[in-house]
Amino acid sequence: MNGVGNDYIFIDNLSSKNNAISKKIIKKICDRHFGVGGDGVIVISNSKVADVKMKIYNCDASPATLCGNATRCVAFYIGKKLNKYSISIESGEKILYCQIQNIEGDFATVSVNMGKANMLDTKILTFKGQKYKLYIVDVGNLHCVTFVKDFCFDVQKLCSAIQNLPCFENGINVDVAVCKDDALFVKVCERGSGFTLACGSGACASAYTAKSEGLTGDNVMVCQDGGKLEIDVGDNIIMTGSCKYVFDGVFYEDK
């Protein structure tokens, strides 16, 4: 499944008590040439405090604490399975509440309450003679947001420079944003996955920062390479966007 191009392989493990999956298998499945291909792997299992529990792995097999687009996809899948439109999902230390707004075959529009965001710090980076203000934001996982006038430069090199700063010894998700006509255009380089077509938590972090800096209002349309996400920045951040069920199958491990 994918949420506006942010694609994951989802493993339905609700009928099993064994949730273990090796790093080797995660990397093989996520390989876009020799496996299925995806930004990561999501293991769906039973929860004692919500409808289901999800565990997130980036494509390099490193664990992740939050993924908004994957959460919306899980809600779509479980909603159809349980014939429910309101779904609660345990993810890390959070319980995320989702609302399925409509389903049309393999497509759905799903909202998720991402909770509160917190601005932790700001820093100044000088890169190739240009100063960039970096906003460190916690939206359940850490993001570094910076605003630029346009994308007429090597965004990848800027993201690499930010991720390699000594203060980010465990890496960080980077969001490079352009504000135009009360909308945000965002490119995201995720820790453990690299550049992705979309990132839900990155959209939330960017919208929250833009509102905090007076660049936008409460309701922000975030445009990423894979599509658009509607972000409502209130006491809690509500993210709404499309999901698509692509296919299911069996992955055979090489002997």
How far apart, in whole angstroms, are the C-alpha atoms of residue 206 and residue 114?
A: 13
Question: CB-hemisphere CA count at 13 Å for 184?
Answer: 34
Instruction: Say how far apart CA 78 and CA 163 lie, in whole Å.
Output: 35
What are the structure tokens assigned to 90, written together?
């345990």
Q: Dihedrals φ, ψ of 65, to 5°?
A: -95, -25
144 given a catalytic annotation: no
Q: Which of the residues 59, 144, 199, 204 is marked catalytic? A: 199
Report how far residue 153's alpha carbon sits from residue 164's, in angstroms, rounded to the nearest whole number.
Answer: 19
Q: How far apart are CA 227 and CA 141, in angstroms?
A: 22
Of 67, 179, 189, 243, the catalytic one is 67
For residue 70, what are the CA distances in angstroms to 36, 56, 62, 180?
16, 9, 16, 27
Find where tokens 């000088």 sit.
Answer: 126
Catalytic residues: 67, 199
